[in-house]
Amino acid sequence: MRGKVVACYFSLLLMMLFLGANALHANAIQYVTISDLGEGLPAWTAGSYTGSGLFILSATSAPEYLQLYGDIIDLSVAPGNGGPDPTAAGLREYAGGPISDFVVFNAQPTDCSGAPFTGHCDQYFTLTFESDGATNFASDLAGLGSIPTVVEIGGYRELDRLLDTYQPVIPGYKGCPACDNFSIQVQSDVPEPNTLFLLGSGLLVLGGSLKRRLFS
């Protein structure tokens, strides 16, 4: 039985990875992706759809930590453009489980003065990612208070709506058929099958114990 559970788990994981890979920044004018599948430095990519611009000006990384500083060209995203201060979102290992990763996004108000790119508007932003192996993860997470979360799937999770960066644009803008302004997607590892099996076993034992107490 346990072998069947593990086999089903891996089949589901492979399907989610396939779907996540194919959906990656498919509908975004500009995008940043962060992948953290190990204990080392997170990997990242950034880019833009045809005719748009996104520049990463600096990247600071450490084990399980990444901070990007960049410039969004000619497109404004919230927060920052009249919006609130930094917004954050987290990823949980499983529904109701602890937060194992989080991102914080902070965008400055849009500047159309022409510097450094004449004739264009700029919006500078900072995007910070931390996983539970980062040096200051616990204290930094505690400082965020209550934040919206999604469950890890092993593939990429899109955090646009949780971070308030999702803003639909006119269909066909810059040649993109149906896009949002700015996509932020994070990929993190999921618990191993043994961990999930032990968790499920523990819940079953706890449930049986409570049942015996209630009916004894």
Residue 117 within a domain: yes
pLDDT tens-digit profile, the chain (216 residues):
444 433 443 343 433 333 343 345 545 678 899 999 988 999 999 987 655 678 899 999 999 999 999 988 877 676 544 444 578 999 999 999 999 999 999 888 888 876 666 677 888 899 999 999 999 999 999 999 999 999 999 899 988 878 877 666 655 555 555 566 788 999 987 755 544 444 445 445 445 554 555 555
The total of structural domains in the chain comes to 1
Find out whether 195 and 181 touch, Cβ atoms under 8 Å. no
Residue 214 within a domain: no
Using DSSP's 3-state secondary structure scheme, residue 215 falls into: helix
Residue 210 within a domain: no
Alpha carbon 167 to chain centroid distance? Answer: 17
Compute how many other C-beta atoms are within 10 angstroms of the C-beta atom of residue 213.
8
pTM: 0.73
Residue 207 within a domain: no
